[in-house]
């Protein structure tokens, strides 16, 4: 028996579900195929549970600062198992909400793996499904290095399965996942080492952010080991020892977490057989309309390796549905000026070009305005954590092409400023905006120059 659909979405993560629901509300007959938990990486092993762990670390820092605000606290201790239980219960509720929302939209969900038999035909559990359009939204998974003993470590996904907090942990990687997990472990009491092969943390971010974050991490007791290329992981009587290519070693540790990147999930979906072009890292190659090289086959989210962020996948999916079923033939996602936040301690907010990128594009036409300051919260705390903001501008009008902030509140202040950059704001526009005092956000509209 052959079933007929207007759209089949392969993958039930945030992007796939957003696309499916929008298309179904336009009246399209929509099928979603997903054998695993709904919500994908973000809901299950990413944004949501990670942010809850970030909040736990924030509470730990606040407890440490409490005496400076006149509170007498005694005997405070942290129960990792209790936090994990609360976190996991919240995630489980979210999965139910995702399923309810999908059903309410009119889309159909099949809890099975789908495979493209040809561009207009999908096979699921032995049944054939005809469709006008297919969306590949299968996400990505953590990379485990091909070194001896790597299986003794866990990935960033495995972080969420830990039943107890390790007393000592090594996080291998220099990206935002390593920055975020290291802050959580350190705040909750673990001895933390971060090891990465490059010169600095967050090498794809503005250098100011990298330098300020590294200083804050060291102040929190985190050991940072740059230019450390792993050659193997060895289990010894004292714990896990990370062997390095230069002959050195780090450890021993109770736990080692691989956070060296992710790769697209493209295997087993029939993409090669359908003639879908893949990029050098295995990603589905798409144009600005989210179309692959095969008519009727589209891709969104991490499987395309374009701005691998949950809100990006959601936005791309909704716009694709608008174009295919909503009568908006030119609708697509603009990938420029996408804001992003690193939930490190302290948090980072950034949108637009780094200073180096801007100078490469415009040379001497670039002007930079930056200021470091002490947030008022830390005005009376023994724990001193300075913050810093930076504007990157170009041309006589000083149009802002990059905005970067690190420090308390940097995550929340970014959203509104990202809107301003999309509207073409200039330094003068910021100067003419009345500041809200006392806040960290006001530092961006009171920069001298």
Calculate Rg over the CA atoms of the chain. Answer: 24
Percent of the chain whose predicted confidence (pLDDT) is above 70? 100
Distance separating alpha carbons of residues 301 and 15, to the nearest angstrom: 6
Per-residue pLDDT of 172-230, as tens digits, reads: 999 999 999 999 999 999 999 999 999 999 999 999 999 999 999 999 999 999 999 99
Kindly state the tokens that stand for 342: 């690193």
Q: Of 299, 301, 10, 53, whose CA–CA distance to 156 is shortest?
A: 53
What's the distance, CA 148 to chain centroid?
28
Residues 6+ apart with CB under 8 A from 55: none
What's the whole-number mean pLDDT along residues 132-150? 97
- What is the C-alpha to C-alpha distance for residues 249 and 228, in angstroms, rounded to an integer? 9
* Beta strand spans in 259-304 (E): 262-264, 297-299
The rounded distance, in Å, linking the Cα atoms of 436 and 190 is 38
Tell me the C-alpha distance between 205 and 226, whole Å. 16
Phi, psi of 281 (to 5 degrees): -100, 15
pLDDT at 1: 59
Please give the pLDDT value at position 249.
97
**Residue 18 is encoded by which pair of tokens?**
């957003």
Strand boundaries in 326-398, DSSP class E: 340-342, 348-352, 366-373, 387-394
Q: In the numeric block, which tokens belong to residue 168?
A: 């000592």
The pLDDT tens digits for 274-306 are: 999 999 999 999 999 999 999 999 999 999 999
Question: What is d(CA 351, CA 337) in angstroms, rounded to the nearest whole number?
Answer: 6
Return the closest-CA partner of residue 194 out of 240, 164, 226: 226
The pLDDT value given to residue 3: 87
Q: Which residues contact 241 (CB under 8 A, 6 or more apart)?
A: 233, 234, 235, 249, 250, 251, 252, 253
Average pLDDT of span 307-333: 98
Q: Could you read off the pLDDT of 346-375 as tens digits, one per residue?
A: 999 999 999 999 999 999 999 999 999 999
> Backbone phi, then psi, for 404, in 5-degree steps?
-135, 135
**Could you report how far apart the first and last alpha carbons of the chain are, in Å?**
71
Average pLDDT, the chain: 97
Task: Please identify every residue annotated as catalytic.
Answer: 437
What is the pLDDT averaged over residues 335-351? 97
CB 211 within 8 A of CB 191: no
Q: Which residues contact 339 (CB under 8 A, 6 or more apart)?
A: 349, 350, 351, 414, 415, 417, 418
Both tokens of 202, joined, read 């967050």
272 CB-near residues (< 8 Å, 6+ apart): 278
Res. 2: pLDDT tops 80: no
What is the β-pairing status of strands 262-264 and 348-352? unpaired
pLDDT in tens, 99-139: 999 999 999 999 999 999 988 999 999 999 999 999 999 99
**pLDDT tens digits, 242-270:** 999 999 999 999 999 999 999 999 999 99
Q: Which two tokens stand for residue 381?
A: 């705390």
Question: Domains of the chain by range and CATH?
Answer: 2-142+263-325 (3.50.50.60), 150-260 (3.50.50.60), 346-444 (3.30.390.30)
Tokens of 422: 């999309």
Q: What burial class does residue 426 get, using C-beta atoms within 10 Å of its C-beta: 0-12 exposed, 13-18 middle, 19+ buried?
A: middle
Distance CA 228, CA 156 (A): 19
């Amino acid at each position: 028996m052959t079933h007929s659909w207007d759209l089949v979405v392969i993958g039930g993560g945030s992007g796939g579900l957003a696309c499916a629901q929008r298309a179904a509300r336009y009246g399209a007959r929509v099928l979603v195929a997903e054998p695993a938990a709904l919500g994908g990486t973000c809901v299950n092993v990413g944004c949501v549970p990670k942010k809850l762990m970030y909040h736990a670390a924030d509470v730990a820092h606040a407890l440490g600062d409490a005496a400076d605000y006149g509170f007498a606290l005694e005997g405070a201790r942290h129960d990792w198992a209790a936090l994990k239980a609360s976190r996991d219960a919240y995630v489980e509720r979210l999965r139910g909400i995702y399923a309810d929302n999908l059903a309410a939209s009119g889309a159909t969900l099949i809890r099975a793996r789908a495979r493209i038999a040809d561009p207009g035909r999908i096979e699921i559990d032995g049944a054939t499904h005809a469709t006008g359009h297919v969306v590949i939204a299968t996400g990505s998974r953590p990379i485990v290095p091909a070194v001896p003993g790597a299986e003794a470590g866990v990935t960033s996904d495995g972080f969420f399965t830990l039943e107890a907090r390790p007393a000592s942990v090594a996080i291998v990687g220099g990206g935002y996942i390593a920055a975020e997990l290291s802050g959580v472990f350190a705040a909750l009491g673990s001895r933390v080492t971060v090891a990465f092969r490059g010169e600095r943390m967050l090498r794809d971010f503005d250098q100011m952010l990298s330098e300020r974050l590294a200083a804050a991490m060291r102040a929190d007791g985190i050991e940072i080991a740059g230019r450390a290329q792993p050659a193997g992981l060895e289990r010894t009587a004292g714990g896990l020892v990370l062997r390095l290519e230069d002959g050195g070693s780090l450890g021993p540790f109770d736990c080692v977490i691989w956070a060296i990147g992710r790769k697209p999930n493209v295997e087993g979906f029939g993409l090669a057989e359908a003639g879908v072009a893949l990029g050098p890292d295995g990603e589905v190659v798409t144009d600005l309309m989210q179309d692959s090289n095969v008519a009727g086959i589209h891709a969104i989210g991490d499987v395309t390796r374009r701005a691998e962020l949950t809100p990006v996948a959601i936005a791309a999916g909704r716009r694709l549905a608008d174009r295919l079923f909503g009568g908006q033939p030119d609708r697509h996602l603009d990938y420029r000026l996408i804001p992003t936040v690193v939930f490190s301690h302290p948090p980072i907010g950034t949108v637009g070009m780094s200073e180096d990128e801007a100078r490469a594009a415009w040379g001497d036409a670039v002007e930079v305005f930056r200021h470091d300051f002490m947030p008022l919260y830390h005005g009376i705390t023994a724990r001193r954590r300075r913050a810093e903001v930076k504007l990157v501008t170009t041309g006589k009008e000083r149009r802002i092409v990059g905005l970067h902030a690190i420090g308390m509140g940097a995550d929340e202040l970014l959203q509104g400023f990202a809107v301003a950059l999309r509207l073409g704001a200039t330094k003068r526009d910021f100067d003419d905006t009345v500041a809200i005092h006392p806040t960290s956000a006001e530092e961006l509209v009171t920069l001298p120059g």
